[in-house]
A and B are shown apart, each in its own frame.
Chain A
C-alpha cells in the first residue's frame, strides 16, 4: 500500500469487530460507527481501545448513505468497508462512493461487477455462455403463454428422463425476489392457471409480466466456493468449498462446514471430489470472465445424484468466511484472515500468491450461536444475557461482538438487527475428530439470560448439537 489509508467501517457487530482487528493487524487506521442501540456492542469497545479521537462516530442509522459519507469526509477516510448486509451488495452505493467529488475506495467488487452479478438472470446467462451448469429451465423472462407451456412441458419430460420421481416445476416472476411470486407446479395440466396467476401478480406488483420457469430441485446440498481476487482481476484464487446445508426453517444458515464434502470418510453415490473440483473450476472461470476484483462467494446446489448447479454469486465477504480460512494454508502458513486479505487487495495490493500456494488441511465447522427458540419456528429470544462463557482451546476460534458480560453488567440483545451472538469456528484433523471437538465445545458453552417475562434464555445450542451428527450428509 503506497499511501496511508483510513477505512470507514459501515457496519456493526461481529463483522465490525473483525474489520477493526484486520485493520489493526495491517497497521491501518479506521473509523467505526454505531447507533444508539449498539452503544454497548463489542465493536464500540474495541474501536475505543484501538482507535484515536477520530475513530468512532455515532450515527442515526446504518442505512443512511449521506450520513456515512459525511462522516467519511469529516474523519478523512479514504476507503469504505461495507461488511455484510446493509450496503454490501448495493451497486448504487458502491458507485456513489467511487464516483463522488471526493472519491473513496469501496472495499468490495467494482460497482459494475456488483450490478452484473446481482441480477440472477444475468448471472445465469453468463454462466450458460461459459458452459457452467445452471438449474434447467428458462434463462430469460417469458412473456408468451404458449412458449411458457412448451418450456414447462419439456421440463417435466426432462425430469422424467433424468429419473426424478416427482417432477416439479417452479414458476416465478422474473422481476420478483425474496420469495414473492413463486409457485410450484406438479402437474402440467395445472400449469396454465398457475402461470396466469403468477403473470397477473407480477404485472400488478412489478409492472413486468415476465415469468421464469425452472426445475424445482429437492434434497440438495448447498455448497459454496470462496473466491478471492486482487484489483487486477486477472488471477482469481479460491479457498475451497463450504457446505451450508444445515439451515433454519427460514432458510438461514446455522452450521457451515469446510470443505463441502468429505469423500475420505463418507461414501457418496457420486464422485464427490470431482464435483468439488468442478465447481471451484467453474467459479474461477466465471470470476475471470467478469474481471472479479474482491472476495466473493459462488453459491451452488448439488443434487443427490451429484449434479451441481450454479445458483447465484454473493459479491461480498460472508459470515462464514472464517471456516474456509480455518482449513486453508497460504504457503504452508495457517492463520489465514480473509477479511484482512480483502482489505489488503481492495486497497490495491497485488495478491502475492497463486492457487498452487493455497493448500487445505483438516475440517472446519462454524456454529452460529443465536438466542432463539428452535422449536417455535426459530423465533428470536429477546432479553438480557448475564453469562456467556466457553472453554478456550487451541482448536477453537470464537468471533463475537458481545462485550465482557458479568451478572452485574448484562448485555441487552438489540431487537433492531439480526440476532447473531457469536460464531464458533472449530478445526479438526478429520471428520470424527471435528465432530467430537464440536460437541465438546457446545457442551462446555454456557449462555444464560433473563427477560421481562422472567423466561429463561433459549439458544440454538441443542439444535446445533443434534445436527452435528448429520453434517456433510444428504
Chain B
C-alpha cells in the first residue's frame, strides 16, 4: 500500500515536471519516465521482493534530476510553475501558516467574487509561558487548484471593492493586513463599478492605510496585483513572477498580432526573459524587499516545511514594520537583533502589532517615501548640473516663501479680513437705512439722465479681447482640401465635413451629431490656456530603456523624432484667466502615450510642484495605452508611485483635475488618473481598464463597440462629466472656481 502511494507521488512529480517545462528537457524527462515504468513493471511482475532499495534509488534520481532542472529554469518556466494547479494557493497558506482563521465575506463560490478571499486569522506567539493571539486581516487572491469558479484569481471590480471594504475594517480595528498576490491580472471587463476605477480606488486607499501591510507575491500580474500590493514590506516567492503584463500579452503586442492570433512559443519565451519578471530581477530593482526561497521546482501543498518559512517571514516582516515605525529605543535594539537572527524561532518572541494613533501617520509617511524613492535611475535625465542646482535652489526658496506667506501671513490675514468683512457689512446696512428717506425723495425729483440715453443709441466700448474669435492653435490638417465622413453618418445622417472647417472652426466636432474627431494634443494645450502663458519644465527628462529591451531604443528614438518630444509626458505651468495651474499632458503619439519611468518621474515632479506652489493640478490624458510594457516592473511601479504623490497632493488641499481625450486605457486609468475626485472626459473619448482587443485575448469576450465610451464611463460613475471640446476653457475655469480643496493659492 505504502509502495503504491509512493509510486503515485512519483508519477505526479513526473507529470508536474512535464507540465512546467512545456516540452523542453525531453531526455531527462524520458529517463525519469522510463526508470519509473521499469520500476512499476518490476513490482507488477515480481512478487515478494523488497523494493525499498529500488524505491530509494528512484527517489534519489528524482531529487537529483529536479535539482538539475531547477538550475535550468527559464523565466517562462517560472510562469508555468506559478500557473500550475498544484501551486500552493491562499487557502493552503491560511490552513498552514495561521493558527486559526475564519473566512469572511463569502464561502467558496458563495461570494460576490470567488477570486478574492478575505479572512480574519490569528497567529499565536509565546513569550515565556504566556501566549498571545495576534489578529490579522488576510486579503488575497484565491486561485484554488484549478477550480473554474475562481476565475484563475482574476478579481472582478466588486472583488476589489470587497477587499477595499475589509482594508477599511482593518484600519478601524487597528490590525495589520497580510495581503497575498496570486493573480494573473484584474478582470478587464468594465462593469459597475468599472474595473480600472476600482483598482485606482484601492491603490489610493492603500497609499494612506494607517496599519502595517505586508504583501506576498506569487503571481503579480499588472493592475490586478497593484490593487492589493501597495505594502510596507513586499515579499516574493522565489519562483513567482511580478510583471506589467503576461508574457503572452507582451508577445501579442511585440508580434503585432491581430485578434485571435497566437504567438509562437519562442516569442513568448523571449518576451518572458526580456520582461525580467522573476523574483531575483525584481529584488535587484528594489521593487521587492525579500525573496522567500521555495523548494525545488516550486512550492506545492505538501511542502509543509515551506509553510513554516512563510510563517516566520511574514511574522518577521510585520514585526519589522512595527519596530521601524516605533523608532529605536534601547529595548528595541535587542528585539531587532533577535529578529534579524534567522535561527530564532519568532513564535517564541512577541512584539505588539498594534500601533498607537500618534505613530500611524509616520507609518504612512514611511510607506509613501519608500515608494517615491523607487525607480530613480531608470530614465535619462539630461538636465545640466547648473539647471539641477538652480532647481534645488528655487525649491528651497519656495519652502521659505510658503512658510512666510501661507503659514504666517495668510493665517493672520484671514482673521483680519474676516473682521473687516463683518464690519463693512454692518456699516452698509446702517448707511442704507440712514439714506433711505433722502433717496426716495431724490428719486422723485430726479431728472432724466441724458448721457445714459446717449449711450442707448451710440456705439459703446467693447473690449473683444476676451471674446472667442477663432482658435489660437489650428491643426495642419485644416490645410487640406478634403472632406471627412462622420462615423455616425449612417445613424445620424451627418453630411460630410470639409476638413478646413472641421479642424479649424469646428474644433473637430461634427456639426450634425456632435461627434468629436480626435485632435492633436497641442490643440488643447494652446486653446485652453492663456496665450503665451505656458512654461515647460523638466523637458530634459528622457524616456530610457531600463530593461535593455531589444529594439526599444530605436523605437523611442523614432517616437522622439516623430513628435519632437523627449518623453510621452509634457509638464508645464499655464494660466487660465490668470489662475496659474500645473498641467501634465500624456501625449498619445509618443509610443501610444504609455507611461514609463521617465513619465512617472515627470508626473511626480509636476505633482510636487503643484503641491509646493499650491496650484491646481490638471492632468490631460490626450491618450494613453497604459504602462509601457517594455519597461516591465519599472513601468508598473509608477502606478503606486504616482498615486502616492497624488494622494499627498489631494491631502494637502489641492485641486486635482483629470481630463480624458481620445483613448485612455490601462495602468494610468487604473491608478493615478482613476483615483481623481474630479474626472472629466471630452466627448467621444473612450476610457477603461483594458481595450477591446485585450479583453478579447484574455477573456474571449467580444464587448459592445460603445463599451468604453465616455458616456458609459459616466454611468458607471468613473468620470464625473462629459465636456464639449469647444467649451473646454470655460469648463476648466468653472472647475477651478468651484472644485477642489482648501489650500489653493487663489482661494
Q: How far is the CA of A92 from the CA of B506 in the complex (A)?
A: 11
A63 pairs with B456, CB closer than 8 A: no
Given A157-B449, A161-B453, A215-B456; 7 other pairs, CB 8 A cutoff? A63-B495, A96-B500, A139-B459, A139-B462, A140-B460, A151-B456, A207-B724
| Complex contacts, A137 vs chain B, CB 8 Å | 456
Of the stretches A10-18, A74-82, A127-135, A294-302, the one at the interface is A127-135
Q: Is A58 an interface residue (CB 8 A)?
A: no
A-B residue pair count with CB separations less than 8 angstroms = 60
B453 pairs with A128, CB closer than 8 A: no
Q: How far is the CA of A128 from the CA of B462 in the complex (A)?
A: 13
Known interface pairs A92-B501, A101-B481, A207-B730; A155-B495 also in contact (CB < 8 Å): no
Query: Considering the complex of A and B, which 10 residue pairs feature the smallest CB-CB distances, nearest first?
Result: A128-B459, A154-B452, A101-B481, A140-B462, A136-B456, A66-B496, A100-B481, A158-B453, A66-B483, A129-B459
Chain B CB within 10 Å, residue with most, of A101, A151, A158, A207: A158
Q: How far is the CA of A451 from the CA of B496 in the complex (A)?
A: 37
Q: Is A138 an interface residue (CB 8 A)?
A: yes
Q: Is B727 an interface residue (CB 8 A)?
A: yes
Q: How far is the CA of A157 from the CA of B458 in the complex (A)?
A: 17
A138 pairs with B460, CB closer than 8 A: yes
| Complex contacts, A52 vs chain B, CB 8 Å | none
Nearest residue (CB) in A for B495 is A64
The 0/1 profile, CB within 8 Å of B marked 1, for residues 213-253 of chain A is: 00100000000000000000000000000000000000000
B457 pairs with A136, CB closer than 8 A: yes
The 0/1 profile, CB within 8 Å of B marked 1, for residues 130-171 of chain A is: 000110111110000000001100110110010000000000
Known interface pairs A157-B448, A158-B453; A65-B460 also in contact (CB < 8 Å): no
Q: How close is A429's CB to chain B, nearest CB, in angstroms?
A: 40
CB contact list, B689-733 vs A, under 8 A: 724, 727, 730
Q: How far is the CA of A314 from the CA of B727 in the complex (A)?
A: 30
Q: How far is the CA of A150 from the CA of B449 in the complex (A)?
A: 11
Q: How far is the CA of A154 from the CA of B452 in the complex (A)?
A: 6
Q: Is B505 an interface residue (CB 8 A)?
A: yes
A161 pairs with B448, CB closer than 8 A: yes
Nearest residue (CB) in B for A160 is B448
Q: How far is the CA of A140 from the CA of B466 in the complex (A)?
A: 13
The 0/1 profile, CB within 8 Å of B marked 1, for residues 304-318 of chain A is: 000000000000000
Q: Is A288 an interface residue (CB 8 A)?
A: no
Q: How far is the CA of A394 from the CA of B501 in the complex (A)?
A: 49
Q: How far is the CA of A65 from the CA of B456 in the complex (A)?
A: 41
Q: How far is the CA of A100 from the CA of B500 in the complex (A)?
A: 9
Q: How close is A170's CB to chain B, nearest CB, in angstroms?
A: 13
Q: How far is the CA of A133 from the CA of B449 in the complex (A)?
A: 20
Q: How close is A435's CB to chain B, nearest CB, in angstroms?
A: 37
A96 pairs with B453, CB closer than 8 A: no
Q: How close is B445's CB to chain A, nearest CB, in angstroms?
A: 14
Q: Is B498 an interface residue (CB 8 A)?
A: yes
Q: Is B455 an interface residue (CB 8 A)?
A: yes
| Complex contacts, A150 vs chain B, CB 8 Å | 452
Nearest residue (CB) in B for A103 is B481
| Complex contacts, B459 vs chain A, CB 8 Å | 125, 128-129, 139
B448 pairs with A155, CB closer than 8 A: no
A92 pairs with B448, CB closer than 8 A: no
Interface class of chain B by DSSP: mixed
Q: What is the total number of residues of chain B having a CB less than 8 Å from a CB of chain A?
A: 22
Q: Is A469 an interface residue (CB 8 A)?
A: no
The 0/1 profile, CB within 8 Å of A marked 1, for residues 460-475 of chain B is: 1010000000000000
Q: How far is the CA of A224 from the CA of B500 in the complex (A)?
A: 35
Q: Is A99 an interface residue (CB 8 A)?
A: yes
Q: How close is A467's CB to chain B, nearest CB, in angstroms?
A: 33
B501 pairs with A96, CB closer than 8 A: yes
B462 pairs with A65, CB closer than 8 A: no
| Complex contacts, A66 vs chain B, CB 8 Å | 483, 495-496, 498
- Which of B453, B458, B481, B495 is A154 in contact with, Cβ under 8 Å? B453
Q: How close is A173's CB to chain B, nearest CB, in angstroms?
A: 16
Q: How far is the CA of A121 from the CA of B500 in the complex (A)?
A: 26
Nearest residue (CB) in A for B451 is A154
| Complex contacts, A129 vs chain B, CB 8 Å | 459
Q: How far is the CA of A134 from the CA of B460 in the complex (A)?
A: 13
The 0/1 profile, CB within 8 Å of B marked 1, for residues 10-46 of chain A is: 0000000000000000000000000000000000000
B495 pairs with A92, CB closer than 8 A: no
B505 pairs with A65, CB closer than 8 A: no
Q: How far is the CA of A111 from the CA of B727 in the complex (A)?
A: 26
Known interface pairs A66-B496, A99-B500, A101-B481; A154-B462 also in contact (CB < 8 Å): no
Nearest residue (CB) in B for A153 is B452
Q: How far is the CA of A134 from the CA of B481 in the complex (A)?
A: 40
A128 pairs with B458, CB closer than 8 A: yes
Nearest residue (CB) in A for B446 is A157
Q: How close is B550's CB to chain A, nearest CB, in angstroms?
A: 45
A157 pairs with B453, CB closer than 8 A: yes
10 pairs of residues in contact across A and B, judged by CB atoms under 8 Å: A63-B495, A66-B483, A66-B495, A92-B505, A133-B457, A134-B457, A138-B460, A157-B449, A157-B453, A161-B453
| Complex contacts, B724 vs chain A, CB 8 Å | 207
Q: How close is B530's CB to chain A, nearest CB, in angstroms?
A: 19
CB contact list, B431-451 vs A, under 8 A: 448-449
| Complex contacts, B727 vs chain A, CB 8 Å | 207
Nearest residue (CB) in A for B483 is A66
Q: How far is the CA of A94 from the CA of B730 in the complex (A)?
A: 30
| Complex contacts, A125 vs chain B, CB 8 Å | 459, 462
Q: How close is A78's CB to chain B, nearest CB, in angstroms?
A: 17
Q: How far is the CA of A138 from the CA of B457 in the complex (A)?
A: 8
Q: How far is the CA of A63 from the CA of B457 in the complex (A)?
A: 39
B460 pairs with A154, CB closer than 8 A: no
Q: How far is the CA of A101 from the CA of B500 in the complex (A)?
A: 12
| Complex contacts, A151 vs chain B, CB 8 Å | 455-456
Q: How close is A276's CB to chain B, nearest CB, in angstroms?
A: 21
Q: How far is the CA of A140 from the CA of B449 in the complex (A)?
A: 21
Q: How close is A231's CB to chain B, nearest CB, in angstroms?
A: 23
Q: How close is A474's CB to chain B, nearest CB, in angstroms?
A: 23
| Complex contacts, B448 vs chain A, CB 8 Å | 157, 161
Q: How far is the CA of A101 from the CA of B458 in the complex (A)?
A: 44
Q: How far is the CA of A157 from the CA of B727 in the complex (A)?
A: 38
The 0/1 profile, CB within 8 Å of B marked 1, for residues 84-127 of chain A is: 00000000100110011100000000000000000000000100
| Complex contacts, A128 vs chain B, CB 8 Å | 457-459
| Complex contacts, B496 vs chain A, CB 8 Å | 64-66
The 0/1 profile, CB within 8 Å of A marked 1, for residues 465-509 of chain B is: 000000000000000010100000000000110101100010000
Q: How close is B680's CB to chain A, nearest CB, in angstroms?
A: 15
Q: How far is the CA of A409 from the CA of B387 in the complex (A)?
A: 88
Q: How far is the CA of A101 from the CA of B456 in the complex (A)?
A: 46
| Complex contacts, A138 vs chain B, CB 8 Å | 456, 460
A154 pairs with B449, CB closer than 8 A: yes
| Complex contacts, B505 vs chain A, CB 8 Å | 92
Q: How close is A118's CB to chain B, nearest CB, in angstroms?
A: 14
Q: How close is A238's CB to chain B, nearest CB, in angstroms?
A: 24
| Complex contacts, B462 vs chain A, CB 8 Å | 125, 139-140
Nearest residue (CB) in B for A121 is B462
Q: How far is the CA of A128 from the CA of B458 in the complex (A)?
A: 6
Q: How close is B516's CB to chain A, nearest CB, in angstroms?
A: 15
Known interface pairs A66-B495, A92-B505, A96-B501; A139-B453 also in contact (CB < 8 Å): no
| Complex contacts, A63 vs chain B, CB 8 Å | 495
CB contact list, A341-364 vs B, under 8 A: none
- Which of A64, A139, A157, A215 is B460 in contact with, Cβ under 8 Å? A139
Q: How close is B31's CB to chain A, nearest CB, in angstroms?
A: 75
B495 pairs with A158, CB closer than 8 A: no
- Which of A65, A154, A207, A215 is B498 in contact with, Cβ under 8 Å? A65
- Which of A99, A140, A158 is B456 in contact with, Cβ under 8 Å? A158
Known interface pairs A65-B495, A96-B498; A154-B483 also in contact (CB < 8 Å): no
| Complex contacts, B481 vs chain A, CB 8 Å | 99-101
Q: How far is the CA of A151 from the CA of B452 in the complex (A)?
A: 8
| Complex contacts, B453 vs chain A, CB 8 Å | 154, 157-158, 161
